[in-house]
């Protein structure tokens, strides 16, 4: 029996002992370094020193080819050798996942003599053993050694031994790959977090390249670094808050707090205590002193959103803080000094509010040091596509969908609409579309009903001549009514027809003329058209 034989044979016993000590050295070499390449190098050196290995090579599979990871006993240029899977003995070992032994290299025609011997290796006969490095039952590389030829060599036992060495290499490789994966994951996470911070702090997340938007960027850049009070004006949903953030995070106060007060959300009775804080016992329920938002924003920025909604008595107190940078807490006598930069925003017509007596003129002038007007979305249609793409990407990511683009008809519909709710409405519209979208493209029918038009729903093209003419006629009438803001007499003149005929057609097509009448021209603009008929001027 071989076992009994190996136990009794003193040379075999010595060989086994040497092998055990080699395995110990190998595992120490691999665990003692974070650099796997140098660990492998030391493994090969150990094999050469302890056994009759003349030279050795470790290859690893990368991008479909075997790359030399470590060599010992070869000329240096051997490091650049590449093996294809299936090519030569090394390639076949990886392909089959089984070791190959060549007892006499000189007699083996399949032996690719890619790496010639060094002069000092002479002409001695060599045996070649190549074992796979297996990871998760897959060959991911090889360990190959040239041994001095010995006629009496027990190749089975040698293959087993080198197999164990390759197993240790595989373990080290596994650990290294896990560490690498973890490192990559942490790097990704880090990049993601940085990105998030940048998004929050930078104004690169303000999308748009149109003339009015660029002008706005310039104003933000001009004023951010100063301590000037800024008033941001614009319709609802145009991005006023976004701009207030951009100013703060691009100012010298960026590391200090940005505190927001929604003036419209706070009842008159609460707003003063919110802004200025109170002393203990100032009113029933004031059990302890409380800091107001002004004090919370110390060193930073206080953003007074919807300032147009603030009551007159609070306006007086605000005026004092703006002028003197000091105030008293409610129920207190101590004067508190503050270093706060103020940004206010409103969608109200301030001039009208002053004329009506609901807003103090002196406060307005104090706030109106540097005013940024945020144009409504309908006046910067050049930004619309960029914004739409931005929101498409954002919501696709959020909802885990792969939606690549917006179809041309859907883009036409977006361009034709007048966006009374501005960017916020566009944002909501895109989120809805992403939610209902069942393909890789947003089509017209994914957009909300307010954007659907006779045109986009295809009633013009895929119908009989009679219906097509009717649809065209209806479109012309809608267009004329839109241009004349619902004035039928003018619309009739535009269409070179009589008011009587127009009225007849309007009834026939069930057109609701009232919807074209825009009482608040400034707010909704001439484009206010719930039917969302394509706006010829906007589409140009
Ligand atoms: N230029 C822009 N780029 C990217 N997102 C924008 C832009 N403008 C506005 N938004 C987005 O539109 C939404 C509305 O913006 P924001 O809250 O700043 O508007 P607002 O003017 O303060 O509105 P309101 O007067 O109703 O408070 C936000 O989600 C904001 O991120
Ligand atoms: Mg706002």
Residue 492: strand, helix, or coil: helix
Q: How far is ligand 1, taken at its centre, from the CA of residue 239, in Å?
A: 3
pLDDT of res. 540: 31
Q: How far is ligand 1, taken at its centre, from the CA of residue 389, in Å?
A: 16
Q: How far is ligand 2, taken at its centre, from the CA of residue 348, in Å?
A: 12
Q: Is the distance from the beta carbon of residue 241 to the nearest atom of ligand 1 less than 6 Å?
A: yes
Cα 536 → chain centroid? 36
How many whole angstroms separate alpha carbon 338 and alpha carbon 341? Answer: 9
pLDDT of res. 455: 55
Q: How far is ligand 2, taken at its centre, from the CA of residue 240, in Å?
A: 6
Which ligand approaches the C-alpha of residue 213 most closely?
1
Q: Is the distance from the beta carbon of residue 234 to the nearest atom of ligand 1 less than 6 Å?
A: yes
Q: Is the distance from the beta carbon of residue 428 to the nearest atom of ligand 1 less than 6 Å?
A: no
Q: How far is ligand 2, taken at its centre, from the CA of residue 254, in Å?
A: 20
Mutate to test the pocket of ligand 1, among 238, 387, 394 (most ligand atoms within 8 A of CB): 238
Residue nearest (by alpha carbon) to ligand 1 atom 7: 239
Q: Which single residue is written with the structure tokens 């005929």? A: 501
Which ligand approaches the C-alpha of residue 237 most closely?
1
pLDDT tens digits, 251-285:
898 888 899 999 988 888 889 999 999 988 878 87
Q: Is the distance from the beta carbon of residue 87 to the nearest atom of ligand 1 less than 6 Å?
A: no
Q: Is the distance from the beta carbon of residue 242 to the nearest atom of ligand 1 less than 6 Å?
A: yes
pLDDT of res. 201: 52
Counting from 1 in the atom list of ligand 1, the atom nearest the Cα of 213 is: 1
Give the chain's count of helices (H) and strands (E). Answer: 20, 17
Asked if 159 contacts 177 with a C-beta cutoff of 8 angstroms, the reply is no
Q: Is the distance from the beta carbon of residue 317 to the nearest atom of ligand 1 less than 6 Å?
A: no
Residues in the chain: 540
Q: Is the distance from the beta carbon of residue 73 to the nearest atom of ligand 1 less than 6 Å?
A: no
For residue 253, what are the contacts with CB-CB under 8 A and spacing of at least 6?
Answer: 299, 300, 301, 341
Mean pLDDT of the chain: 84
pLDDT of res. 235: 94
Counting from 1 in the atom list of ligand 1, the atom nearest the Cα of 346 is: 25
Q: How far is ligand 1, taken at its centre, from the CA of residue 188, in Å?
A: 29
Counting from 1 in the atom list of ligand 1, the atom nearest the Cα of 242 is: 18
pLDDT of res. 6: 45
Mutate to test the pocket of ligand 1, among 423, 425, 426, 428 (most ligand atoms within 8 A of CB): 423
Residue nearest (by alpha carbon) to ligand 1 atom 8: 239
Q: Is the distance from the beta carbon of residue 129 to the nearest atom of ligand 1 less than 6 Å?
A: no
How many whole angstroms separate alpha carbon 54 and alpha carbon 44? Answer: 10
**Regions in the chain scoring below 50 on pLDDT:** 1-7, 457-461, 520-540
Q: Is the distance from the beta carbon of residue 239 to the nearest atom of ligand 1 less than 6 Å?
A: yes
How many whole angstroms separate alpha carbon 485 and alpha carbon 339? Answer: 51
Q: How far is ligand 2, taken at its centre, from the CA of residue 424, in Å?
A: 10
Q: Is the distance from the beta carbon of residue 206 to the nearest atom of ligand 1 less than 6 Å?
A: yes
For residue 127, what are the contacts with CB-CB under 8 A and spacing of at least 6?
Answer: 101, 102, 103, 104, 105, 146, 147, 148, 149, 150, 153, 155
Asked if 272 contacts 408 with a C-beta cutoff of 8 angstroms, the reply is no
Q: How far is ligand 2, taken at its centre, from the CA of residue 242, in Å?
A: 8
Q: Is the distance from the beta carbon of residue 202 to the nearest atom of ligand 1 less than 6 Å?
A: no
How many whole angstroms separate alpha carbon 214 and alpha carbon 202? Answer: 15
């Amino acid at each position: 029996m071989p076992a009994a034989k190996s136990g009794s044979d003193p040379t075999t016993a010595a060989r086994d002992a040497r092998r055990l000590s080699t395995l110990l050295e190998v595992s120490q070499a691999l665990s003692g370094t974070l650099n796997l390449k140098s660990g492998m190098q030391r493994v090969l050196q150990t094999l050469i020193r302890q056994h009759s290995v003349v030279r050795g090579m470790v290859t690893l599979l990368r991008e479909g080819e075997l790359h030399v990871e470590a060599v010992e006993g070869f000329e240096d240029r051997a490091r650049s050798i590449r093996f294809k899977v299936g090519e030569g003995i090394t390639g076949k070992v990886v392909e089959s996942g089984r070791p190959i032994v060549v007892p006499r290299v000189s007699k083996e025609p399949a032996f690719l003599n890619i790496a010639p011997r060094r002069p000092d290796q002479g002409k001695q006969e060599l045996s070649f053993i190549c074992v796979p490095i297996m990871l998760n039952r897959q060959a991911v590389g090889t360990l190959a050694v040239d041994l001095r030829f010995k006629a009496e060599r027990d190749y089975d036992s040698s293959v087993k031994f080198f197999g164990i060495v390759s197993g240790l290499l595989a373990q080290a490789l596994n650990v290294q790959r896990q560490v690498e994966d973890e490192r990559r994951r942490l790097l990704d996470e880090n990049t993601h977090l940085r990105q998030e911070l940048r998004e929050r702090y930078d104004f690169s997340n303000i999308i748009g390249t149109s003339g009015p938007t660029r002008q706005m960027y310039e104003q933000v850049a001009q004023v951010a670094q100063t301590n000037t009070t800024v008033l941001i004006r614009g319709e609802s949903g145009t991005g006023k808050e976004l701009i207030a953030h951009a100013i703060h995070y691009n100012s010298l106060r960026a590391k200090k707090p940005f505190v927001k007060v929604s003036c419209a959300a706070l009842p008159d009775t609460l707003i003063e205590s919110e802004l200025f804080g109170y002393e203990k016992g100032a009113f029933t329920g004031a059990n302890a002193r409380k800091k107001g938002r002004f004090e919370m924003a110390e060193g930073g920025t206080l953003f007074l959103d919807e300032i147009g909604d603030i009551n007159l008595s609070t306006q007086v107190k605000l005026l004092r803080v703006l002028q003197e940078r000091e105030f008293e807490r409610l129920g207190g006598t101590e004067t508190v000094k503050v270093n706060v930069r103020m940004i206010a925003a409103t969608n109200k017509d301030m001039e009208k509010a002053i004329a009506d007596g609901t807003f103090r003129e002196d406060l307005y002038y104090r706030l109106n040091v540097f005013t940024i007007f945020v144009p409504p979305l309908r006046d910067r249609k050049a930004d619309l596509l960029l914004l739409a793409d931005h929101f498409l990407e954002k919501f696709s990511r959020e909802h885990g969908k792969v939606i690549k683009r917006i179809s041309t008809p859907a883009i036409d519909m977006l361009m034709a609409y007048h966006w009374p709710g501005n960017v916020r409405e566009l944002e909501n519209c895109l989120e809805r579309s992403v939610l209902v979208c069942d393909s890789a493209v947003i089509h017209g029918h994914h957009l909300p009903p307010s954007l659907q038009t006779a045109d986009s729903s295809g009633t013009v093209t895929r119908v009989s001549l009679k219906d097509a003419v009717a649809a065209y006629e209806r479109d012309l009438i809608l267009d004329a009514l839109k241009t004349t803001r619902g004035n039928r007499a003018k619309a009739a003149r535009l269409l070179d027809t009589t008011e009587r005929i127009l009225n007849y057609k309007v009834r026939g097509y069930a057109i609701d003329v009232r919807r074209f009448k825009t009482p608040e021209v400034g707010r909704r603009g001439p484009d206010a058209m719930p039917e969302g008929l394509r706006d010829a001027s906007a589409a140009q």
